[in-house]
A and B are shown apart, each in its own frame.
Chain A
């Protein structure tokens, strides 16, 4: 869940239309039209990546007049289905998925079950990926995969498959390297 208190704004006099901002936006909120970046404020989750990426310093994060709450209430979704999705993805329902926003696995599961079909959808429904955008991505990919959804990033964004996790490590590898406690860590979190 995230309370979005800021929004991205573009100074047209500084914008050169290079589209670098488009490539880093997790929700597709910023688009270049007629060589000028424009922000769809409804979709801006204040991740500040456009501000960071812009080499022309054309972007500023300014306070919203009315903060926006991005959340999906897990209690509004069938709890058994949430548990089923979580366990299939090998995550615990109360596990933090997005550390920056405190979004738990059960909220991500609820959002997927309520129709989130892309990373952008998920960010709009939960706020996940609106912080560092780094540490949550593997678990989110696994949860989409567990839901039977093949999701890819937009064409001009880069994202690589990283559903690899410790449960994928073959037994023979676990036994070959006892010093890494692969077997034990897997058993603890199974």
Chain B
């Protein structure tokens, strides 16, 4: 069942992160790979993993688009393909880029319209230029523009009032919502309408992002994305949606529809089951050393398709909608309204040490080094975390090691465990030590039973899906 460790996806060079490390955690002696389908054999099988044949993505996109009605798009009209930030880091980003290319080609062929690519940034002004250069998007797209949450807003009148989108995202006659479905930040979106999240994030002004995250609860906040998407303004411009589908095993296909809620419904059944099993499995760990070794922000680096941020926050079951909150910042206040909280996300109790081989700073994560011995590899990277305005006290709590080996030795000594789980951007397998693999393999059957018999039916019912139908 255990295999030799698999080389993870390449890391894109960026001003926002350290120089990509030549030595990856998977290169360390004793590291291994455990396939997710050896843990749960019914996880939907992949059609693509990093380094694979991109033509399967193109083919899947073309097949998905063949069922989409495009006749409303006239040749004299403009169509924007909206590309969101995290797609460019899923399995190295090439699958997402190929999907975007295939969408352009199909729409151009079938409609004759003026098709452009719009690339969204999360927060940094230099992000999109880096993506455009790294993926050589100008070779494939004649017209490309970037946008971010700081750009000019457009008021969107919704059922509950005015919310602000980024004007550039909605400036064409039509837009194509070209997105991905991997579950990230589930402590916020709770897997209620995963494929709609871009309407309160990628395509939204930062004031709208703020409202979604902290002016509504984590269940009630999902209404905002619906309110925006259902607004007349958005509906009259939405041509169709095309979603890159994933399971913990990898990219499993592409789904496209004029009705985004139909995609949402189709995604939910499989994701709740497949990702639910992986999440519950990792949530059942007692001890591990977590290693960040991937591209972009540490929260969003994958291990077996599971984001670190989701694992870190897995004291809670984010799928269970009977729980009002599933992260510490609100939960602590509900328990003690006149208390204080200095914790946003309490790290999962199993994380006994953390090693940052490489990850971008820039998203709030100081709870990790405050509560877990954390070692940053390389002075260059430590310098970045020292300067990071979103984590001004990160390096007050973390230490620095010159080498990855040194960092791992430190982590083993302070944690007392040799169970290592590496978040290196992988889907399809976990990069880990054999001792952790044994732990996971022994736990998987009971997790499988509990999800199939107890949790999945509950999760589905909470979302209005008949478990029998699923």
Decide whether A and B assemble into one complex: yes
Quick one: which of A3, A104, A138 contacts B207, CB cutoff 8 A?
A138
Chain B residues 291-318 with CB under 8 Å of chain A are none
B336 to chain A, nearest CB (A): 8
- Judge whether B205 and A166 touch: CB under 8 Å: no
Choose, from A10-18, A32-40, A109-117, A127-135, the stretch at the interface.
A127-135
Please classify how large the interface on chain A is, using the bins under 10, 10 to 19, 20 to 34, 35 or more.
35 or more
Q: Which residues of B contact A164 (CB under 8 A)?
A: 160-163, 211, 215
- Judge whether B393 and A3 touch: CB under 8 Å: yes
Q: Which residues of A contact B123 (CB under 8 A)?
A: 132, 134
Q: In the complex, what distance in Å separates the CA atom of A111 from the CA atom of B152? A: 30
Q: In the complex, what distance in Å separates the CA atom of A13 from the CA atom of B85? A: 33
A52 interface residue (CB < 8 Å to B): yes
- Judge whether A100 and B390 touch: CB under 8 Å: yes
- Judge whether A133 and B206 touch: CB under 8 Å: yes
- Judge whether B219 and A160 touch: CB under 8 Å: no
Q: In the complex, what distance in Å separates the CA atom of A100 from the CA atom of B342? A: 11
Chain B residues 104-152 with CB under 8 Å of chain A are 123-126, 149-152
Q: Looking across the interface, which residue of chain B has its beta carbon closest to that of A20?
A: B125
- Judge whether A131 and B215 touch: CB under 8 Å: no
- Judge whether B390 and A168 touch: CB under 8 Å: no
- Judge whether A135 and B392 touch: CB under 8 Å: no
Chain A residues 61-97 with CB under 8 Å of chain B are 61, 92-96
A126 to chain B, nearest CB (A): 13
B28 interface residue (CB < 8 Å to A): no
Which among A48, A141, A170, A180 has the greatest number of chain B C-beta atoms within 10 A?
A: A180
Q: Which residues of B contact A165 (CB under 8 A)?
A: 211, 215-216
| Given A96-B329, A165-B215, A188-B324, also A46-B161 (CB < 8 A) | no
Chain B residues 132-185 with CB under 8 Å of chain A are 149-153, 155, 159-164
| Given A53-B125, A134-B206, also A94-B153 (CB < 8 A) | no
Q: In the complex, what distance in Å separates the CA atom of A125 from the CA atom of B246? A: 46
Quick one: which of B334, B336, B338, B389 contacts A189, CB cutoff 8 A?
B334
Quick one: which of A2, A47, A92, A180 contacts B220, CB cutoff 8 A?
A180
Total interface residues on B, CB under 8 Å, equals 61
Judged by DSSP, the binding face of B is loop
- Judge whether B387 and A137 touch: CB under 8 Å: no
* A-B pair number, CB within 8 angstroms: 163
A147 interface residue (CB < 8 Å to B): no
Q: In the complex, what distance in Å separates the CA atom of A138 from the CA atom of B224? A: 14
B164 to chain A, nearest CB (A): 5
B234 interface residue (CB < 8 Å to A): no
A149 interface residue (CB < 8 Å to B): no
- Judge whether A173 and B159 touch: CB under 8 Å: yes
- Judge whether B160 and A180 touch: CB under 8 Å: no
B82 interface residue (CB < 8 Å to A): no
Q: Looking across the interface, which residue of chain B has its beta carbon closest to that of A95?
A: B333
- Judge whether B390 and A185 touch: CB under 8 Å: no
- Judge whether A180 and B219 touch: CB under 8 Å: yes
A43 interface residue (CB < 8 Å to B): no
Q: In the complex, what distance in Å separates the CA atom of A186 from the CA atom of B329? A: 16
B85 to chain A, nearest CB (A): 14
Q: In the complex, what distance in Å separates the CA atom of A78 from the CA atom of B442? A: 58
Q: In the complex, what distance in Å separates the CA atom of A130 from the CA atom of B210? A: 15
A188 to chain B, nearest CB (A): 5
- Judge whether B210 and A100 touch: CB under 8 Å: no
Report the 4 A-B pairs with minimum CB-CB distance, sorted nearest first. A185-B217, A162-B207, A94-B340, A165-B215
List the interface of chain A (C-beta within 8 A of B). Answer: 2-6, 24, 46-48, 52-53, 61, 92-96, 99-102, 104, 130-139, 141-142, 158-162, 164-166, 168-170, 173, 177, 179-182, 184-186, 188-189
17 A-B contact pairs sorted by A residue (CB < 8 Å): A2-B392, A46-B387, A48-B387, A53-B125, A94-B341, A99-B344, A100-B364, A131-B389, A132-B363, A136-B210, A136-B214, A138-B207, A166-B217, A166-B221, A180-B192, A180-B219, A184-B324
